[in-house]
Amino acid sequence: MQRYSPGDSPIHRAAPGAKLVALFAIGVLIALLSSTPALAALSALIMALFLIARLSVRDTAQALSPVILVAAAVFALQWWLTGIGEALRSVLRIFALVLAASLVTLTTPFSRMIDTLAAAAGPLAAFGFNPARFGLAAALVIRFIPVLMNDFREIEMARAARGSRRPALGAAGPLIIKTLRMTDTLSEAILARGFETREEAMRGGGRSDAAR
């Protein structure tokens, strides 16, 4: 996923919460749309938002580069299995989702994304839930959408190549395993960078202030 690209566009200035809600809505819309022209129009709209955000062609190309080869393979496989119409729709869904997620991360500082998600989970603290951890975890999920999409498509293609006609359902198991492995790696990296230590220090400082 792309790193934050500083700017002063309307999209940069938009509230992180609004952008995250829009990203969720776009994801639902992508899943629901079954018309090739509609998916193409949605992809074009998202690319227009890149222009409004004054992001460069290089930013757009870097957002799509991780999935181009996978998208090409998905297109070829879907064309062979179900026809060109479904092949086009599959590729458009991939591009639209990756572009939308990249637009959010390119125009939103990672720290603000974490803070927004943590604030949204604040009411759950009364039930012993940790909003800070939730904010970090949810922000990482958003940043790793393209990685998960790549993994899913690779698994889907492997199953289809072995003759499975319903690869999407069967891909869930291997995808969950790969995601859990990635989660373990990320957890180790977060612990190595002292996130838990800083969090405990902040809580300790808050208790000390309250005692004074």
Instruction: Give the end of a domain, one of 92, 120, 148.
Output: 120
Q: What per-residue confidence (pLDDT) applies to 84?
A: 87
Specify the number of domains making up the chain: 2
Q: What per-residue confidence (pLDDT) applies to 40?
A: 94
| Same domain, residue pair 146 and 97 | no
3 is a domain residue: no
197 is a domain residue: yes
Q: What per-residue confidence (pLDDT) applies to 197?
A: 47
- Read off the pTM: 0.64
Q: What per-residue confidence (pLDDT) applies to 43?
A: 92
Paired tokens of 115? 């803070």
Instruction: Give the end of a domain, one of 71, 103, 120.
Output: 120
107 is a domain residue: yes
- Residues of the chain where predicted confidence (pLDDT) is lower than 50: 167, 169, 197-198, 201-212
Instruction: Give the end of a domain, one of 120, 154, 182.
Output: 120
pLDDT digits (tens, 9 = 90+) for 15-71: 998 998 999 999 999 988 889 999 999 999 999 999 999 988 887 787 777 777 778
| Same domain, residue pair 90 and 185 | no
2 Ramachandran zone, left/alpha/beta (phi>0; psi -120 to 50): beta
| Same domain, residue pair 139 and 61 | no
The answer to whether 53 touches 107, Cβ cutoff 8 Å, is yes
1 is a domain residue: no
99 is a domain residue: yes
| Same domain, residue pair 116 and 129 | no
Q: Which domain holds residue 17?
A: 10-120
Q: What per-residue confidence (pLDDT) applies to 92?
A: 92
Helices and strands per DSSP (H, E), number in the chain: 11, 0
| Same domain, residue pair 115 and 130 | no
Q: What per-residue confidence (pLDDT) applies to 205?
A: 47
Amino acid at 135: G
| Same domain, residue pair 170 and 86 | no
Q: What per-residue confidence (pLDDT) applies to 22?
A: 93
- Nearest alpha-carbon partner for 87 in 145, 158, 153, 147: 153
| Same domain, residue pair 107 and 33 | yes
| Same domain, residue pair 94 and 128 | no
104 is a domain residue: yes
The chain-wide mean pLDDT, for the chain, equals: 76
